[in-house]
Amino acid sequence: MEILAFGVQADEKPLIEQAFRGHHEVRCLDVFLNQDTAPIASGYEIICTSVNCALDNHVLQTLAVGGTQMIAQRSTGFNNIDLPVAERLAMTVARVSYYSPYSVAEFAWTLAMAVNRRIVRASIRTRDFDFRLNGLMGRDMHGRTAGVLGTGKIGEAFARIAHGFGMRLLGWDVAENPACVELGMEYVSKERLLAESDLITLHVPLMPATQHLIDADALKTMKDDAILVNSSRGGLIDTAALVAELREGRFTGVGLDVYEAEAGLFFLDKSLQAIEDDTLARLVTFPNVLVTSHQAYYTVDAVRQIIDATVRNVLDYTEGRRSENVLVPRS
C-alpha cells in the first residue's frame, strides 16, 4: 500500500521514508492538506498529516469521496481535525500521544534566555561590527520565580531546568504532578502565578477551556518586567491584547514559537510576499519579542519518535489493532 504524507519538511523526508521502508510505500509532499490540495489524496486509503494541515468538514468530505479511510497525524495536537465529521464519515484518526518532552522544554528555555539576554539584537549588532553593550542588559534567573502553566511531561521538563537555575517554582494545572512537587513547586491559582512570576511558560493543550487562557486581563495581572514564553499552541494567547500591552512598553521579553493565526504562514516561505496579517506584522517589530515558526519539537530525537509512532499507528490500522493513539476508532 502507498501512503500519502502531507506537509513533509525536507529534513523529515528521509526519516519518514526510512521508517516506512519494509512496511509500506510512502509518497511525501511538502504542501499542506487543505481545500485546494485535498483532491491529490484521491485513491489513497491512508494519508499522513501535520498539525498545520486543515482537516475541516469540506476537506474530510473530499477525502472520503476519494477513498481515504485513515488519517495518521504526525503530532500530539489535533485541533486541526474535525473529529465528529471524521467519525461520521467512518474515518480512523490517530495521533502521536507522546514524544520527547525535552525538545519543547529546552526550546522554551532557549526563547526565554534569548529574550532575557537580548541574543538576537546582540548578534545583529556584531554582524555590523557594533560591539556596544547599551540595551543588552539581562538579569539572572537564579532566585527568581518561574510560573509553569501546565505541568505535564513538558512542563515538568521545563520545571527541572528551572530548578537547576535555582528558581522558585509555581505551577497551575487541573492536577498536581508529584514530580514537580518534589522539585519544590507550589501549586497556586492562575491569577497568583501570573502576578508573582518573573518567567511564565505555557504548556497546556488548546481546547475551548484554554482558548485565550492569557487574555487582556491575564496580561494586565503580570509583572511589567515579566518574560512570557509560549511553545504550546498559539490560541492560548490573545495576540491582539498582547500587542496592546507591548505598545505600552510592558514585559522584559516575549518568546513565541506559535501564533494563533499561523496556519497558512508557518512552515512556508513568505519572504517575497506582503504579509496581510497586521497583528503578526506588528508583533515582530517589537525589539523585546522573538517569534519562531513552530520549531520547538524539531529535534532529530523528537521527530524520529513522532515518525516511529506514526508508522505504528498505520500498522495498527492495517493489522486491526487499536492503541491509545487512536482518536476515532476504525468502524
pLDDT digits (tens, 9 = 90+) for 108-165: 999 999 999 999 999 999 999 999 999 999 999 999 999 999 999 999 999 999 999 9
Distance (Å, rounded) from C-alpha 112 to C-alpha 116?
6
Q: What is the pLDDT of residues 175-215, one digit of tens each?
A: 999 999 999 999 999 999 999 999 999 999 999 999 999 99
Catalytically active residues, by annotation: 233, 262, 294
Looking at residue 264, what is its pLDDT?
A: 81
DSSP letter at 206? -
Distance (Å, rounded) from C-alpha 63 to C-alpha 99?
28
β-bridge partners, 47: 4, 71
Looking at residue 159, what is its pLDDT?
A: 98
Residue corresponding to grid cell 523526508: 13
Distance (Å, rounded) from C-alpha 114 to C-alpha 28?
34
Distance (Å, rounded) from C-alpha 309 to C-alpha 274?
38
Q: Please list the alpha-helical segments (H only) found in the chain.
A: 13-20, 57-66, 83-88, 101-116, 119-127, 153-165, 178-182, 190-196, 216-221, 239-247, 278-283, 300-318
Is the predicted pLDDT of residue 29 greater than 80, yes or no? yes
Instruction: Read off the C-alpha cell for 198.
Output: 518573573
Is the predicted pLDDT of residue 330 greater than 90, yes or no? no
pLDDT band, very low/low/confident/very high, at 166 (cuts 50, 70, 90)? very high
Residue corresponding to grid cell 490517530: 94
Edge-first strand order for the sheet with 227-230 is 186-187, 168-172, 145-149, 199-202, 227-230, 253-256, 289-291
Residue corresponding to grid cell 500519502: 4
Q: What is the pLDDT of residues 234-246, one digit of tens each?
A: 999 999 999 999 9
Distance (Å, rounded) from C-alpha 213 to C-alpha 202?
9
Looking at residue 77, what is its pLDDT?
A: 85
Handedness of CA 147, 149, 151, 152 (dihedral sign): negative
DSSP characters for 111-142?
HHHHHHTTHHHHHHHHHTT----TT------T
Cα separation of the two ends of the chain: 20
β-bridge partners, 253: 227
Report in angstroms the alpha-carbon separations of 90 from 65, 71, 87, 93: 12, 11, 5, 9
Distance (Å, rounded) from C-alpha 155 to C-alpha 42?
40
pTM: 0.90
Residue 308: partners with Cβ closer than 8 Å, 6 or more residues away:
19
